[in-house]
Structure 1
Amino acid sequence: MRDTVDFLLHHWLNVAALTERERFADHSAETFGQVLDTCEKIAREKFAPFNRLVDVEEPRFDGEKVILPQATQEAWDAYAESGMLSAAQDYDIGGMQLPYTVEAAANAFFSKASVSIGSGMLSVGNANLLMAHGTETQKRVFALNEFSGRFSGTMCLSEPQAGSSLSDVATRATPDGEGHEADPLGPRYRLKGNKMWISAGEHELTENIIHLVLAKIPGPDGKTIPGVKGISLFIVPKKLVDTDGQLTGERNDVALAGLNHKCGWRGTTNTLLNFGEGRFKPGGQAGAVGYLVGKPGQGLACMFHMMNEARIGVGMAATMLGMAGYEASLAYARQRPQGRPMGVGGKDAAAPQVPIIEHADVKRMLLAQKAYSEGALALALYCARLVDEQHTAGPEAADQAKWLLEVLTPIAKSWPSEWCLEANSLAIQVHGGYGYTRDFPVEQYWRDNRLNMIHEGTHGIQGLDLLGRKVVMDGGKGLTLLATTINRTIEQAGQVPGLAEHGAALAAALQKLGAATKAAWSTGVPEEALANATAYLQAFGHVVLAWVWLDVALSVHQHEAQLPEAFAQGKRQACRYFYAYELPRIDAWLGVVARREATCREMQDAWF
């Protein structure tokens, strides 16, 4: 994996060019390499050896606290001490001012070693949100303590009765008495309600847990505003703190209602939390103390800052689980003897067995895994590079990066979640019956990866977001820009023997995608356009990955003299596989989109 990461960073994405910008001027290719070396070492020593342990020793509640294996504490401490929680932050708050591209690549090692133990994704996202939308005091008291690893963070959106339908959240926040607006930590409210599926919602890994909670506040008439317009965002710490960030010794009214027992990701606590049930009474009264972030009614807009960041993180987690399964099944295929070559006269039973990697169908399964996982890694790092462009490039380049991210974020989250899960399924298949046992790690990789199509916005939601919003925003500006970017690669590929054919296939696919997009919306009826949004998401993702692989293959061609021959040939063959076996799938998906296929939306409950 490391050779692929280095190639993508230095040859394909040219991260060294970022050091010419003022923010990253103190860095070099050498310092970037040192960061990767450090994270790879910590992941190898503190995370990977305990991936099975945290799977079988699930979090448990002893009546007072949640208990996790000691290995989880040691892994968290090592990660926090590495400085990676604040890797991209300013020097003056203890950060390293690393490009996000390098930070994302470095964190990939932890996802691959043990996604279940985790690498602080939610804490960093929580703190980044506060740095963007919080007051100076909120940044100092909460965000900086999360960046140091002293505190950790969560996001509390879903509720037992609402799930992904955030307009139906029932958690309420009311002003906390006289002078509530003058609290130095922010306008102070009391929250009551329940939140579900809260990852890392209760543990003893850090001194405090900072919950970011969506809740509705009373409108000017004292009534709750319906829909998402009434949602505000609150900082709700597990333990109350003063303006210096020190614990006051008082527990907030946030109580663990239960632990969810999951198919995978068992090393991460996943909780149902009750806010304001009265078990704890800060200040002598029931209700969890929360501090308003941003303006009233702007909670969802603020939370999307964290959600979009988390979606790219989920995509990377799915990618690295796919990569872990690929590497495991590749190693197994190279050493597992079974079967004999098929000669002209049939098999020679007296001949020695060959490793299963010699069989064409096993090569098919390994090539699929390579194409899925390495392609997804390239996509995730490309999106990370766009984040750096958005924050540090000139105005025009930053604006283009913003629009590309708008369109690509649903793909960066969903495509790896679906196809790297398929890679894990193929890894099990390569192992045969052994893959279905716990004697090998591939079954756990599949179980861990199955979550990624669900959390931080399900597959269906990503499809609706893509076709219903992202490709039609501002007259289709993002989609047009993406098409221009893809066409630039197609034009370059047309000059390279062996890649021109792929370029022509991609051009045809891009034309079909554009036509299907227009056909879906031709009647102007959202119900008709969006009924097949998931099929659109799948086709869109495959077109994007075909482009990614073609662009990577171009980079291989351009830097061939600097690359090992086997490495370069492997990348070419994965690209060839994608165009031969994967890109043709889009015709079926786009067919139902273009004709606004009505089968699913016209199906009735009674007919099932």
Structure 2
Amino acid sequence: MTTSLRSTLDFLLYDWLQAESLNARERFADHSRETFDAVLDTCERIAREKYAPFNRTVDTQEPQFDGERVILPQCTHDARQAFADSGMLSAAQDYALGGMQLPYVVESAANSFFGCASISIGSNLLTTGNANAILVHGTPLQQQVFAANEFNGRWAGTMCLSEPQAGSSLSDITTRAEADGADFEVDPLGPRYRLRGNKMWISSGDHELTENIVHLVLAKIPGPDGKLVPGVKGISLFIVPKKLVDTDGQLTGERNDVALAGLNHKLGWRGTTNTLLNFGEGRYPVRGGAGAIGYLVGRPGEGLKCMFHMMNEARIAIGMAATTLGLAGYYASLDYARTRLQGRPVQGSTSAAGSAGKDASQPQVPLIRHADIKRMLLAQKSYCEGALALNLYCARLVDEGRTGEPQAAQDARLLLEVLTPIAKSWPSEFCLEANSLAIQIHGGYGYTRDFPVEQYWRDNRLNMIHEGTHGIQAADLLGRKVVMQGGAGLQLLARTIGATIAQARKHPELAAWADQLAQALQDVGEATQAAWATGNPTEALANAVPYMQAFGHTVLAWVWLDVACSVLARDATLSIAASAGRMGAARYFYHYELPHIGAWLQVVRQRDLTCAALDEDAF
């Protein structure tokens, strides 16, 4: 597995994205390809030794709650410690924070080894995202006490948004935060509040892997009349540690009133605790008051704005998680197809009965020699390696947005805004389909726990739901991202894709694909205008998911065309097997996948209300 992944990462990082060129920038001046390779080597080794051997263990030995503590298998503790010791929690952070100042694209590539080896163990993304949100919106002391201790591995972090009665509808949350009678001068860690409420579906919400857990909690501050403000405008963000700390980042010995109400038993990702948390229920009374102690982050009423920093980062990371699970299934089914002997090749002529003949006297051949098996392998390769390229491209945009020249940085941030729903949702859907194809290649064996592909599918099924469901991502894309700033983001993406089309037309081998992509881009643009032609959001968004599917396929076709340009620039004769495989995957995507967008865009153009208008009684 790791050899195939490493060669793909090397091509995408160095040949396609030109990651080495980042070292010309002041922030990355201490680095070279040698340091990047050393990071990849370290992560590949840890994933191979501490993660991969225990992927089945954490699936079968689910977290247990004994009434006081969450019990996880020892391998989870060992893997988490190895990850923290590697410095990857702060890989992209400043030297002053103990970080390595790595480009984010290199950090993302290195972390892909852990996702491929065991996503259940390797879900450290929330800790990094939590700390990054505090770095952006917290006070200097909050950054020093909370973010720094998450980056160094002492503490873990979560994001607490959803509630049992609200789900994804954050405007309906009811967790309350009332001032504790202390202002900033009285409590240096920030304006102190008492929180009461319940949070559901909290990943890593309780465990013993670290000495403390830092919860970032969305809650509403009541108005003067004691009532909660309807909608999202009243939502604020709070740091609520599991155990209280002092201004030096040391535990005070007091347990905050954050109680584990129970563990959710999931289809997949079973190695990661998923929890229902009660804040301020009185199980752990603290400092003589009622409610869990929380410290305001940012300004009152701007909690969702602050949390979106973490949510957007998490969405890209979920896209990468879906991608690596898809790749894990692809590698497993490729190995199986190469070694499993079954059937015989179709002969060159048909039998008297009119069907293709097979010579039963000949030995059986490996599965991979059958055309339909190759079809399923190519589909997986095109989905997963395409998604990996997209996610790394988005990570490269993060680096450009942080360190590029002003105009380039601004464009990178805008382009990332448009691509984020695709980077999260497209891999979540189509790398899941890749996992389904991996099971199909295994046949009946794939449906058993004797082979890993069924677990990869179960683990991946979650990714279409968490960090914003498929429908939410689609509404965000069509309802906001492509129309914001007068469509500036969509226009920038079109120009970016257009540059690739122009480059591809210089290669005779790619000219037909370039024309096909140009037509797809035009179709998406026309469908976008048609969806909003009446200005009625109900009509425009009625088919947001088909729109997102077509948009995502167009983006992936662009990625594959850009990759193909790099392949030809590197190896015009296609003498290298890996390059031939990449071109085969690109060809598959253009011949088998991109044509699908016509049906998706048709209902968008027509503002078809078949689904939206059907009366609920008709079901």
Specify if TM > 0.5: yes
**2:258, 2:284 within 8 Å by CA — same for their partners in 1?**
yes
Q: Does 1:579 align with 2:590?
A: yes
Q: Which residue of 2 aligns with 1:36?
A: 40
Tell me which residue corresponds to 2:298. Answer: 294
**Does the 8 Å CA contact 2:23/2:31 hold for their aligned counterparts?**
yes
- Separation (CA, whole Å) in 2 of partners of 1:6 and 1:410: 26
* Corresponding position of 2:112: 108
Q: Which residue of 1 aligns with 2:374?
A: 363
Tell me if the contact between 2:504 and 2:561 (Cα under 8 Å) persists in the aligned partners: yes
Q: Separation in 2 of the partners of 1:265 and 1:248?
A: 33
Contact kept? 2:123, 2:272, Cα under 8 Å: no
One of 428, 432, 436 as aligned partner of 1:425: 436
Q: Shift of residue 605 of structure 1? A: 1.1
Q: Following TM superposition, by how much is the alpha carbon of 1:182 offset from its aligned partner in structure 2, in angstroms?
A: 2.9
Give yes or no for contact 1:169–1:215 (8 Å, CA) kept in 2. yes
* Structure 1 residue 285: Cα displacement: 2.4
Q: Which residue of 2 aligns with 1:162?
A: 166
Partner of 1:99: 103
Q: Distance in 2 between matches of 1:34 and 1:561?
A: 30
Q: Deviations over 1:363-414 (max 9, x none)?
A: 0000000000000000000000000000000100001001100100000000
Number of residues of Structure 1 aligned to a counterpart in Structure 2: 608
State the alpha-carbon separation in 2 of the partners of residues 178 and 500 from structure 1: 67
Residue among 455, 467, 480 paired with 1:444: 455
Q: Distance in 2 between matches of 1:222 and 1:183?
A: 24
Quick one: which amino acid aligns to residue 150 of structure 2?
E
SS of the equivalent of 1:189 reads strand
Task: Give the AA of the match of 1:558.
Answer: A
TM-score by length of 1: 0.99
User: Structure 1 CA distance, aligned partners of 2:509 and 2:370?
Assistant: 25
Determine the C-alpha separation between the residues in 1 that align with 2:97 and 2:316: 25
Q: One-letter code of the match for 2:254?
A: E
Q: Does the CA contact (< 8 Å) of 2:212 and 2:242 recur in 1?
A: yes
Secondary structure at 2:259's aligned position in 1? strand
Query: Within 1, Cα distance between the matches of 2:593 and 2:552?
Result: 11
What is the CA-CA distance between 1:563 and the residue it aligns to?
A: 7.9
Cα-to-partner distance string for 1:496-515 (whole Å, 9 max, x where unaligned): 02100000000000000000
Q: Which structure 2 segments of 5+ residues have no match?
A: 350-356
Deviation, structure 1 residue 341: 1.1
2:422 is equivalent to residue 411 of structure 1: yes
- Name the amino acid aligned to 1:524: G
1:284 partner SS: coil
Contact 1:520/1:529 (CA < 8 Å) preserved in 2? yes
Give the 3-state SS of the residue equivalent to 2:509 in structure 1.
coil
In the TM superposition, what are the counterparts of 1:271-350 in structure 2 within 5 Å? 271-345=275-349, 346-350=357-361
Determine whether 1:497 maps to 2:501.
Answer: no
State how far apart, in whole Å, the 1-side matches of 2:506 and 2:216 are. Answer: 52
8 Å Cα contact 1:107-1:119 kept in structure 2 = no
Quickly say closer, same or farther: Cα 1:42–1:563, change in 2 above 3 A: farther
Percent of residue pairs identical: 73
Deviation per CA, 1:55-104: give whole Å up to 9, x if none. 00000001110000000000000000000000001111110000000000
1:285-314 CA-partner distances (Å, limit 9, x unpaired): 220000000000000000000000000000
Cα distance, 1:120 vs. partner?
Answer: 1.3
Higher mean alpha-carbon deviation, 306-315 vs 558-567, is at 558-567
Q: Which residue of 2 aligns with 1:373?
A: 384
Change (3 A) 1:181 1:454: farther
Q: Distance in 2 between matches of 1:329 and 1:529?
A: 40
3-state secondary structure, aligned to 2:110: helix
1:487 aligns with 2:498: yes
The CA distance in 2 between the partners of 1:333 and 1:32, in whole Å, is 33
Q: How does 1:561-576 map to 2 (within 5 A)?
A: 565-576=576-587
After superposition, the Cα gap between the structure-2 partners of 1:178 and 1:86, relative to the gap in structure 1 and judged at 3 Å, is closer
Q: Is residue 183–residue 190 contact of structure 2 (8 Å, CA) maintained in 1?
A: no
> Does 1:219 pair with 2:208?
no
List aligned pairs for 1:372-391, cutoff 5 A: 372-391=383-402
After superposition, the C-alpha distances for 1:209-243 in whole angstroms (9 at most, x for unaligned) are: 00000000023554322110000000000000000
Question: Following the alignment from structure 2 to structure 1, what is the Cα–Cα distance between the partners of residues 573 and 298?
Answer: 50
Residue 517 (str. 1) matches residue 525 (str. 2): no
Q: Is 1:14 aligned with 2:18?
A: yes
1:49 aligns with 2:53: yes
Counterparts in 2 of 1:449-460, with a 5 A limit?
449-460=460-471
In 2, Cα distance between equivalents of 1:297 and 1:10: 44
2:182–2:192 contact (8 Å) kept in structure 1: no
Alignment of 1:172-191 (within 5 A): 172-179=176-183, 182-191=186-195
Whether the 8 Å CA contact 2:505–2:514 is kept in 1: the answer is yes
> Offset at 1:26?
0.2
